[in-house]
Amino acid sequence: MLSDPVRRRLYRYVAAAPEEVGRDAAAEAAGISRSLAAFHLDKLVEAGLLTVSFRRLSGRTGPGAGRPAKLYRRAEGEHAVSVPPRSYDAVGRLLAEVVENAGLDRELQAAARAAGAAQPDARADDVVAALRARGYEPFWDGRTLRLRNCPFHALATEFPALICGMNLALIEGLVPEPWAPAMDPCPGGCCVSLSKKEID
Amino acid sequence: MTEHHLAQVNIGRIVAPLDSPELADFVAQQPEINALADRSPGFVWRLVDDEGADATGIRPDGNDALLLINCSVWESVEALRDFTYHSDHLRVLSRRREWFRRSAEAHQAMWWIPAGHRPTVAEAMERVAMLREHGPGPQAFTFRDPYPAPARAAQL
């Protein structure tokens, strides 16, 4: 499904956008015609990777308001591909359950902070790119960097205190000064946001 | 009209007395987090001690000077979940092991009450005991196994 580079570009654009995306914007971002974009977007919907909704972008209602626009966003479901099959989600759930029951939050956070700090790309390069590479899908909300996706979504839903604490520690380890990650949950997104400390 | 509200109790043993340095951050954040709860959508009521600010003065088990209780009432499980896991409260929750010992047994419970009812400490502790004894059920449940509010017809 995503082996086609045009389709991949479209999917990435829609998946990373903070809002629903219309055909025109997607076509422009992927550098293709509106009709080609529509064809590929609908294929992605058929495959369950995107979902669609209809809304009048003009904000008008009633007769003469025009047809509602078809808008796309990433489907909620998770897709993982591995050959041969592996079930790390089941392992993750079991491990989380044991760590939660043992009350090892602080040990997990220390390991996560160290794991983040051991990855040099965020220090050497662009923090936004480093976060994106880890699946966070960052976007700017004023001067705050919010993360649209939670790479640990399924586990975070089941073990929020444990997994969100781990996630914050991981990002704290990952990003260099003057970045200041904070627990700041946003609807539908990650529990962590980042801002830059003011340097006087 | 909502006929039922959700009551929730949470008990925890602190790692050291409330006036110790270990608990200082926890104590310092209480006013802010309680104020956040009070203004959260779906919040109805929370248990307070004689001081009236929070419940840290209450010892639900008189023999245990380190056991604290937190009890509150909400309009729905979703409202409580949003406050607990999708607000600034999560910041405090992720530090729970700095302040609270883990419990091998259930340390929280939820149950449905008629709107207007105010749970007592004894009632709340009884729900925790029910959960410990029988596991989750309509009388005492958790976020992981929520039960719907009783239907109107089932009301006495």
Predicted local confidence at residue A3, as pLDDT:
81
Predicted local confidence at residue A59, as pLDDT:
62
Lowest model confidence (mean pLDDT) among A123-127, B61-65, B71-75, B133-137: A123-127
Q: How far is A160 from chain B (nearest CA, A)?
A: 6
Q: How far is B92 from chain A (nearest CA, A)?
A: 9
The nearest alpha carbon in chain B to A191 belongs to B86
- Whether residues B101 and A183 touch (CB distance < 8 A) is answered with no
Predicted local confidence at residue A186, as pLDDT:
80
- Structure tokens belonging to residue B134: 């029988």
Distance between CA atoms of residues A75 and A48, nearest Å: 7
Q: Which of A101, A158, A185 sits opposite B90 (nearest CB)?
A: A185
Q: Which of B90, B97, B101 sits opposite A106 (nearest CB)?
A: B97
Distance between CA atoms of residues B71 and B118, nearest Å: 10
| Distance (Å) of CA B92 to CA A147, A165, A182, B27, B147 | 20, 10, 12, 11, 27
Q: Higher confidence at residue B89 or residue A16?
A: B89
Residue A196 has pLDDT above 60, yes or no: yes
Question: pLDDT category, A16, cuts 50, 70, 90?
Answer: confident
Average pLDDT rounded to a whole number, residues A69-80: 83
Predicted local confidence at residue A199, as pLDDT:
64
Q: How far is B152 from chain A (nearest CA, A)?
A: 31
Residue B155 has pLDDT above 80, yes or no: no
Question: pLDDT category, A61, cuts 50, 70, 90?
Answer: low
Predicted local confidence at residue A84, as pLDDT:
79
Residue A200 has pLDDT above 60, yes or no: no
Topology adopted by domain B4-134: Alpha-Beta Plaits (3.30.70)
Give the ipTM: 0.84
Q: Is A180 helix (H, G, I), strand (E, B) or coil?
A: strand
- Whether residues A160 and B144 touch (CB distance < 8 A) is answered with no
pLDDT digits (tens, 9 = 90+) for B4-34: 999 999 999 999 999 999 999 999 999 999 9
Predicted local confidence at residue A5, as pLDDT:
86
Residue B154 has pLDDT above 60, yes or no: no
| B144: chain A residues, CB-CB within 8 Å | 158
Residue B153 has pLDDT above 60, yes or no: no
Q: Is A1 on the interface with B (CB under 8 A)?
A: no
SS (H, E, C) A69-103: EEEEEECCCCCCCCCCCCCHHHHHHHHHHHHHHHC
- Whether residues A191 and B97 touch (CB distance < 8 A) is answered with no
Question: pLDDT category, A63, cuts 50, 70, 90?
Answer: low
Q: How far is B80 from chain A (nearest CA, A)?
A: 14
- Whether residues B94 and A168 touch (CB distance < 8 A) is answered with yes
Question: Taking a C-beta distance cutoff of 8 angstroms, is the pair A7, A43 a contact?
Answer: yes
- CB under 8 Å, gap of 24 or more: what pairs does B125-131 form? B125/B9, B125/B11, B125/B60, B125/B61, B125/B69, B127/B7, B127/B9, B128/B9, B128/B11, B131/B106
Lowest model confidence (mean pLDDT) among A41-55, A158-172, B41-55: A41-55
Predicted local confidence at residue B61, as pLDDT:
92
Distance between CA atoms of residues B102 and B100, nearest Å: 6
The nearest alpha carbon in chain A to B85 belongs to A160
Distance between CA atoms of residues B32 and B9, nearest Å: 20
Read off the pTM. 0.79
Q: How far is A32 from chain B (nearest CA, A)?
A: 39
Q: How far is A119 from chain B (nearest CA, A)?
A: 23
Residue B135 has pLDDT above 90, yes or no: yes
| A161: chain B residues, CB-CB within 8 Å | 85, 90, 93-94, 96
- Whether residues B91 and A182 touch (CB distance < 8 A) is answered with yes
Q: Which of A105, A158, A168 sits opposite B96 (nearest CB)?
A: A105
Give the best residue of A162, A183, A193 to mutate against chain B (max B CB count within 10 A).
A183
Residue A58 has pLDDT above 70, yes or no: no
Distance between CA atoms of residues A124 and B54, nearest Å: 46
Predicted local confidence at residue B152, as pLDDT:
63
Question: pLDDT category, B65, cuts 50, 70, 90?
Answer: very high
- Whether residues A185 and B85 touch (CB distance < 8 A) is answered with yes
